[in-house]
Structure 1
Amino acid sequence: MSHDVLATPRVPFARALRHHAALVAVLLVLGAVGGWLYASTTPSTYTSTTRILVNPSVGNPFSSTPSSVRQDQETSLETEAQMVRSEDVLGAVVDRSTGLTVRGVSRRLQVNVPPSTQVLEISYTADDPELARQVADAVAEAYLANRDARFKQVQDDRVGRLESQTVRTVEDLRSATNAAQKGTPAQRAFNNELADALRNELVNLRAQRTALENLTAPSGTVVSPATEPSGPPLLATLLWPVAGAVAGLGVGFLLALLLERLRGTVRSVAEVRDAGLTVVSAVPRHHVWQRRSAVERREQVDAAVRRVRTTVLALDPRPELISVVGTGSDTSDASAAEALAGSFTRAGHRVVLVRPAQGPGAGEVAVEEHGLAQLLLHERLDVRDVLRPTVEPLLSVLDGGGMGAESRELLSAERLRGVLAPLVEEGNVVVVHVPTGDDAGPADDEAYLGAADLGLVVVSTGRSRRRQVDELVAEAAASGSPRVALVVGRGDLRHPAPPGREDQPARPTAGREGSTSSADDPKARSRR
C-alpha cells in the first residue's frame, strides 16, 4: 500500500506565526502599551528659539587686516557659535537666574548657523515653556554683551597703541626740529626732511585714532526674539509606542519560533497530510468552547475507528498484522489499539491484541509468566498456548511477558512475524500496540512496525509532536512499509468503547472472511 506524499511542508516561520498568532498579538499590544506608558511618564519638553544677526566689526579678531574699519567683511560664524556656548556667556546667564548651572544650560542649548547667512539661531529646551523662552533671550543678550565687550577691548587696545605711537612720533618730531637749527647745512637739511615725514606720520596716526573713536556700529542685533515654546512633535510622541510595538512584535516572533521548535505540535489534519501520511480517518475537531460529553466522544471515536476498519478490510491483500503506534505521551495509543481490536470483533472477526508493554499479571488473568518475551526466548513454545481469553469470545490478548534485555536482543521484525505466524494462519487479525517512551527499547518500534502489514499512526492534535511524525514518515520511506494515520483530538481516546457486539452480529461461519481456519481457507494459507 502506498501513502500520499503531498507538497513540501510549510516554512517553519509561517507555521510558528500561524500557530502562535495570539501570543504575537498580545506581545505586540503589550509593547505598544508599555511604550505609551513610558512616553506618558516622561516629562514634556519645550523649545524656544531666538535669532541674532552678527555684524562684522573692527573688533573682529578674524579680520585680515588689523587696521581695517570696513563693515562688510566676513565673520567666522562657526567660531561665534562656539563663543555662545562659552563659560563667559553662560556664566552671565546663570548669574541672572536661579536654579541653573553652566553645565545644565550647555546640555540643553543648541546653536545653529543657517548656510550662507550671518545669523545665529539659539535654541533652548526646558520642561517649563516660560523658562525656555527666558533662557533663550538671556543667552542672546549675554552673547551680544560679551561680543560688545570683546569689541570694546580690542578697540581700546588699538587706541592705546595709537596713543603710544603718537607720543613717540611727537618726541621724534621735536628732536628733529631742534636738530634742524644746528649743525652743518647738510645736517639741517636732513633734519628738516625728517621733521616733515614725522609730521605726515603724526597726521595719519591722528586720523586712525579719530576713525576708531568715531566707530559706533553695533556688533550684532536680535532680529527675532525668542519664539513661543513648542512642545514635542506628534512624531516624537508616537515614537515610543511604535518602538514598543515593534519590540513586542520581535519578541513575539522569537517566542513563537522557540515554542514551535521546542514543542512543534500537530494541530490539524492538513499538517499530518503535509508530513506525508495518508489520513484514513479523523475525529471531527471541536473547539474549547464546544463541550462534548463522554458518550459523544465515544460515539465519534467509534465512527472514526470503523472508518479505519473499513479501509483496512477494503485493501487487497488485506493486512492481517496491524501495528498501532502513538506519536506522543498523551495520545493514548494503547486505547486506540484496543478500540481497533474491539471494532474488528464487533464486525465478527477473530482478533488477537498484542500488548508488549503489559507484563505478567498486569490484567485480570495471569498467564504463568508466559507472554511475548517467552515466545522470543523459546522457539518451541506455541503462541496459542499463552493467549489470554477475554469476555469477548472473538478477542484474545497476548501480553509482553516481562520484556527484558535478553528478549529485546532477540526482538526483530522477522522473529516477531515468525512468532505471530500461527495466529495469522488461523485467520486472526493481529493488532499490535507498539510501546513508546519508557516502555520501549532503543529499536523496538522498528521491529514492531517492520513486522506489520500496515502501520497505523495515532496522531493527537495539540499533543503529538511534528518531529515524531516526521521520524515515522522517514522510517516508513526507508523500510518501504505502508503507514496510515488516525487523527484524534486531545482526550478523545480516554474513554474507549468496550469490546462488544455491534447490533448483535452473527457468529463467524466457515464462509465468512477472517473467521475460517487455515485448513479451510486456501487464501489464508497462501497469504504468507
Structure 2
Amino acid sequence: MAALNPDPTLAGYAAFVRRHLITIVLLVAAGTGAGLIQGMLTPPTYTASTQVFAPATPVHPGLERKPDQRLPRDVTIDTEAQLLRSSPVMDRVAAALGVNRQGAAEAITISVPANSRLITVQVRDRDPERALAAVIVATDSYLSLRRQIVAGIRQRQLEALQSRIGVVEVRLDTLSKGSVRRDAASRTRRASMIRQINELERQVSRIQRQSETTGEVVRAASVPRRPDRDNNEVPVASYAALGLLAGVVMGMLRDRRGRVPAPSEGAVRHEPEPEPDLSARLGDRRDPRPAGSSRSGP
C-alpha cells in the first residue's frame, strides 16, 4: 500500500484529481442536472408595484406644554408601514391572493427611501393579474384605513379644543361677574383669558380648513409583463458545488482506505532480519571431516 504524504503538494493535488476524475465529473454533472430541474420546476413569479404618498399628520394641535417640554412626535413613516401590515389590510390582500394572512404578509413588500414619505408597495404572485389586483387592494385598504384614523384624530382634536374653549369662557364669565373692582390684576387676567380663547378658536379654524386628502397614489400599478429574475443560476451553481464537494470527499475516503501513514522524521525503521542458512548448518553436522579423507579398513 502507498504511504499517505502528510504535506501534499500541487502535484499531489493534480494526481488526486486524475485518480478520481470520473467520480468528480459524474457527481458535478448530477448536481448540475438537479439544479436545472429545480429551476425548471420552480414556477415564475410576477411583482406588481405602486407608490403612495402619505403626508405627515399632526396629532397634538392646541396641546399646552411647558417651556422645557417637547411636543409629541407626529405620525412617523414607521407607523404608516405598520398600517399597511395591519389586520384589515392583510385580510383583504389575502382574499385577493387566495392565501392566508401569513402568505399575504410574505407576498407584500414595503419600502420607504430615507427622509421621504413616499411608500413603495409591492405584491408578488405567480399570476400577474392577481398580483396587480392584490397591490391595488392593499393601497386602497391602506388609504381607507388611514382616512378613518385621521378623521377620528381630527374629531377628537376639535372636541378637545372646543371643550377647553368652553372651560375658559366659563372662567372668564365668572371673573367678570365676581369682580367688583376693576384693578390692574383683574384686567390682566381677563386679557390673558381672551387671548387664550382667541388662540384656541384659531386652532379650531385651522383644523377645520385642513384638506381632507390623507394620502394619494402617485404612481399607479400596472400588470407586470416579465417574470421576476430570481437568480435561476443559483440552484445550478449550488448543486454543482455540492456535487464537486461530494466527489472530493469520496475520493479522499477511497485514498484513506488504500493508504498507510508514512513514517515521520527521526523514526527508526526496523528491517526484517534475514533467515538463517539452515542447509549450511545441517551440512556441517552431517560430515565434520575434511573433504577427500577416506575411512581405511582394519
TM-score by length of 2: 0.72
Q: Secondary structure at the match of 2:231?
A: helix
Amino acid at match of 2:136: D
What do the CA deviations read for 1:135-185 (whole angstroms, capped 9, x no partner)? 1222222222222222211111110011111222333333334335xx4xx
Asked whether the equivalents of residues 179 and 191 of structure 1 are also in contact (C-alpha less than 8 Å), the reply is no
Higher RCO (CA-CA < 8 Å; seq separation 6+) = 2
Q: Indicate the residue corresponding to 1:128 in structure 2.
A: 127
Displacement of 1:197 after TM fit? 4.0
Q: Indicate the residue corresponding to 1:221 in structure 2.
A: 216
Identify if the C-alpha distance between structure 1 residues 92 and 205 changes in structure 2 by more than 3 Å, giving closer, same or farther: farther
What do the CA deviations read for 1:25-62 (whole angstroms, capped 9, x no partner)? 11111100011112222232222222122211334x7x
Distance 1:110 1:140 in 2: 12
Distance 1:84 1:171 in 2: 44
Q: Indicate the residue corresponding to 1:201 in structure 2.
A: 196
Q: Indicate the residue corresponding to 1:26 in structure 2.
A: 26
Displacement of 1:121 after TM fit? 1.6
Q: Which of 236, 245, 250 in structure 1 is aligned with 2:240?
A: 245
Asked whether the equivalents of residues 97 and 131 of structure 2 are also in contact (C-alpha less than 8 Å), the reply is no
Asked whether the equivalents of residues 58 and 66 of structure 1 are also in contact (C-alpha less than 8 Å), the reply is no
| 1:484-523 alignment runs, 5 A limit | none
| 1:322-361 alignment runs, 5 A limit | none
Distance 1:420 1:227 in 2: 106
> Where does structure 2 lack aligned partners over 5 or more consecutive residues?
1-7, 65-72, 260-271, 283-298
Identify if the C-alpha distance between structure 1 residues 223 and 26 changes in structure 2 by more than 3 Å, giving closer, same or farther: same
Q: Indicate the residue corresponding to 1:102 in structure 2.
A: 101
Q: Secondary structure at the match of 1:120?
A: strand
Distance 1:412 1:51 in 2: 91
Identify if the C-alpha distance between structure 1 residues 242 and 10 changes in structure 2 by more than 3 Å, giving closer, same or farther: closer
Q: Secondary structure at the match of 1:100?
A: coil
Q: Indicate the residue corresponding to 1:169 in structure 2.
A: 168
**Residue correspondences, number:** 254
Identity of aligned residues (%): 19
Which runs of at least 4 in structure 1 moved beyond 6 Å after TM superposition? Answer: none
| 1:76-91 alignment runs, 5 A limit | 76-91=76-91
Distance 2:18 2:99 in 1: 56
Displacement of 1:216 after TM fit? 0.7
> Where does structure 1 lack aligned partners over 5 or more consecutive residues?
1-7, 68-72, 265-410, 423-528
Q: Indicate the residue corresponding to 1:145 in structure 2.
A: 144
| 1:467-482 alignment runs, 5 A limit | none
Displacement of 1:125 after TM fit? 1.6
Displacement of 1:18 after TM fit? 0.2
Q: Indicate the residue corresponding to 1:413 in structure 2.
A: 274
Q: Secondary structure at the match of 1:236?
A: coil
Q: Secondary structure at the match of 1:47?
A: strand
Q: Secondary structure at the match of 2:227?
A: coil
Asked whether the equivalents of residues 177 and 192 of structure 1 are also in contact (C-alpha less than 8 Å), the reply is no
Q: Secondary structure at the match of 1:111?
A: strand
Displacement of 1:9 after TM fit? 8.7
Q: Indicate the residue corresponding to 2:178 in structure 1.
A: 179
Distance 1:249 1:106 in 2: 38
Identify if the C-alpha distance between structure 1 residues 241 and 177 changes in structure 2 by more than 3 Å, giving closer, same or farther: same
TM-score by length of 1: 0.43
| 1:292-303 alignment runs, 5 A limit | none
Distance 1:117 1:9 in 2: 59
Asked whether the equivalents of residues 110 and 120 of structure 2 are also in contact (C-alpha less than 8 Å), the reply is yes
Q: Secondary structure at the match of 1:218?
A: coil
Q: Indicate the residue corresponding to 1:254 in structure 2.
A: 249
Identify if the C-alpha distance between structure 1 residues 176 and 256 changes in structure 2 by more than 3 Å, giving closer, same or farther: same
What do the CA deviations read for 1:441-496 (whole angstroms, capped 9, x no partner)? xxxxxxxxxxxxxxxxxxxxxxxxxxxxxxxxxxxxxxxxxxxxxxxxxxxxxxxx
Displacement of 1:194 after TM fit? 4.6
Distance 2:166 2:246 in 1: 83
Amino acid at match of 2:279: V
What do the CA deviations read for 1:369-395 (whole angstroms, capped 9, x no partner)? xxxxxxxxxxxxxxxxxxxxxxxxxxx
Asked whether the equivalents of residues 96 and 137 of structure 2 are also in contact (C-alpha less than 8 Å), the reply is no
Distance 1:121 1:10 in 2: 54
Q: Indicate the residue corresponding to 2:57 in structure 1.
A: 57
Displacement of 1:193 after TM fit? 5.5
Asked whether the equivalents of residues 97 and 104 of structure 2 are also in contact (C-alpha less than 8 Å), the reply is no
Displacement of 1:413 after TM fit? 2.5
Distance 1:157 1:74 in 2: 16
Amino acid at match of 2:81: A
Structure number with greater Rg is 1
Q: Secondary structure at the match of 2:276?
A: helix
What do the CA deviations read for 1:212-248 (whole angstroms, capped 9, x no partner)? 1110162322122224435231x61111111111111
Identify if the C-alpha distance between structure 1 residues 20 and 52 changes in structure 2 by more than 3 Å, giving closer, same or farther: same
Amino acid at match of 2:130: L
Displacement of 1:252 after TM fit? 1.0
Identify if the C-alpha distance between structure 1 residues 66 and 219 changes in structure 2 by more than 3 Å, giving closer, same or farther: farther
Amino acid at match of 1:39: G
| 1:291-440 alignment runs, 5 A limit | 413-416=274-277, 419=279
What do the CA deviations read for 1:231-270 (whole angstroms, capped 9, x no partner)? 231x611111111111111111111222233246xxxxxx
Asked whether the equivalents of residues 24 and 244 of structure 2 are also in contact (C-alpha less than 8 Å), the reply is yes
Distance 1:207 1:147 in 2: 25
Q: CA RMSD in A?
A: 3.3
